[in-house]
Amino acid sequence: MERLHETFIRLCEIRSPTGEEREVADTIVAELRALGLDVSEDDAAGPAQAGAGNIVARLRGRCDRWVMFCAHIDTVPHKGQIEVVESEGVFRSAGETILGADNKAAVAVFMELVARHTSEPPPVGIELVLTVAEEQGLRGAKAFDVSTLRSDCGFVLDHASAVGEVIVSSPTQQRVLAEFTGVEAHAGIRPEDGNNAIAAAAAAISRMELGRLDEETTANVGVISGGTSGNVVPGRCEIVAESRSLQAGRAAEVAGSLSDACAWGASEHGCDVDVRIEELFRGYRIPPSSPALGLAEAGLRRAGFEPERTATGGGSDANALIVDGFDCVLLANGTEANHTPDEAVGARNLDAMLDVCEGIVAEAATGAG
């Protein structure tokens, strides 16, 4: 597994926040081509507002069946250069940056998977889809044309939980952007001439029902910003809120209530408000009859794991692919504390996910036979 670990460290130390994927994309493309894979890059860079397009790489197998594995190559924003250290079998960042295991742990696993089969073809064809701009609304996957895939099902390795978990449901996320416009005035001399946009936003937030609304639904206000100076009645304020629910209609309903609260708050303080609601991703529930689900669980068992079906409150490329009609399932990859300086992944988990991918390939061949 030493080569897998070295690949993981090397990829993590290449900077690739969303919009800056070019260097890591070029590195991955060159290495996959050197292994003899057929590699292409689509034209998603423009619509996804990314530094590169999605990468598709294919390694032919001994039969006509293909299976697809998907991960993203971008990371959340971070300051400074990532330096990876390993202690007691766990990889972490040496400084205050993220590690980048989200999602380069999966990318490294996939690269090792195909590297092991270049001297002798795998039992089925292996198709890799490495997306861009996932961390900013799944934009790369949304711009990907699933009709170009040769596989009839696929596997996204991008969930920060214990290896063995199979994600069978994910929520719809609605983002609410509200911009309050009031009237500026001197806070000490003529405050009565002003209309306080921050006060309007605060009133709106006080009227919102936030947190866990029911077993399937959450709402949150994550950002509030505005004003220019402590001695000026603020004329502008913005908030960013969201709703999530396993029921798409419920997510839209809650987003509507957040918007209504904004309208009320603006009215109470003599301000205007412009509210925009955007669906970032659509949720799903994987049916028990899904071939991808059956193959994932068979591959996990072959690798020595008992599958555990679970739900997630987040989104992944699986959301975009499933909405486009492609049968795929999201799998846990054993990473921890993603998006933070405490992000980590154990070497054993990297090794385990490689075993799981090998198990899926082997089980796919059994089904093809």
Q: 138: phi > 0 → left, psi -120 to 50 → alpha, else beta; which?
A: left
Query: Any idea which residue has 């994309």 for tokens?
Result: 25
Query: Any idea which residue has 């198990």 for tokens?
Result: 359
Please tell me which residue in 134, 158, 242, 351 is annotated as part of the active site. Answer: 134
Type of residue at 15 = R
42 assigned to active site: no
Please tell me which residue in 42, 74, 158, 358 is annotated as part of the active site. Answer: 74
Q: What is the DSSP letter of 118?
A: S
Beta pairing, strands 236-245 & 172-181: antiparallel
Backbone dihedral angles phi then psi of residue 201, each to the nearest 5 degrees: -65, -40
Cβ-contact 182, 271 below 8 angstroms: yes
Please tell me the number of Cα atoms within 13 Å of 234 on its side-chain side: 18
260 assigned to active site: no
Q: Which of 247, 257, 241, 279 is nearest to 171 (CA)?
A: 247
Question: What is the sign, positive or negative, of the torsion defined by CA atoms of 357, 307, 342, 349?
Answer: negative
Q: Where are the beta strands (DSSP E) in 171-307?
A: 172-181, 185-186, 211-214, 217-226, 232-233, 236-245, 272-281, 284-285
Q: What is the C-alpha to C-alpha distance for residues 194 and 191, in angstroms, rounded to an integer? A: 5
- Catalytic residue IDs: 74, 134
